[in-house]
Amino acid sequence: MMAKVNSDNLEPAIREILDEFANFTVKNAVKEAIKEAADEAVAKLKEGGPYTDRSGKYRRSWTATERHSATSGVTDIPGQSVHNVKHYRIVHLLEKGHQMKNGGRTRAFPHVALVNEMAGESVTQKVAQKLGG
């Protein structure tokens, strides 16, 4: 809460208000950028990848949800988790490949790592754009 303002403490009061506004503006810009990048990542993952998705169920079940970090005292900006709701068990198997029952390994289809890298770059660009930089 701000103290009672008089002519002696006018400058610190104005500075405090401007700092609060700047902090609020930056937090909102980061939150919006993260949300937009997560939505773009979901759209990219729903397009499909180098794998064969015969039924389309794997591609359609990608989504983004908001998550709050209870352990981090650094920020109160919620993040986004991009994940496959129904077929989460095979994401890692497709991404990295896996050992087959009769020996050998399956081919890896890296698709999540590429989208993750794209989303990280997108967030930094969007934050800079929203803050006018």
23 residue type, one letter = N
Specify whether the backbone of 103 is left (phi greater than 0), alpha (psi in -120 to 50) or beta: left
pLDDT tens figures, 53-82:
788 898 899 999 888 766 555 556 678 888
In the chain, where the domains are located: 7-67+79-130
- Residue 133: the pLDDT is 65
List, as one string, the DSSP characters of 30-91. HHHHHHHHHHHHHHHHHH--SS--SSSHHHHTEEEEEE--SS--S----EEEEEESS-GGGH
Calculate mean pLDDT across residues 105-123.
89
Local structure of 110: helix, strand or coil: coil
Instruction: Summarize the confidence of residues 20-38 as an average pLDDT.
Output: 82
**pTM score of the predicted model:** 0.73
Give residue 86's pLDDT: 92
Output the pLDDT for position 28. 81
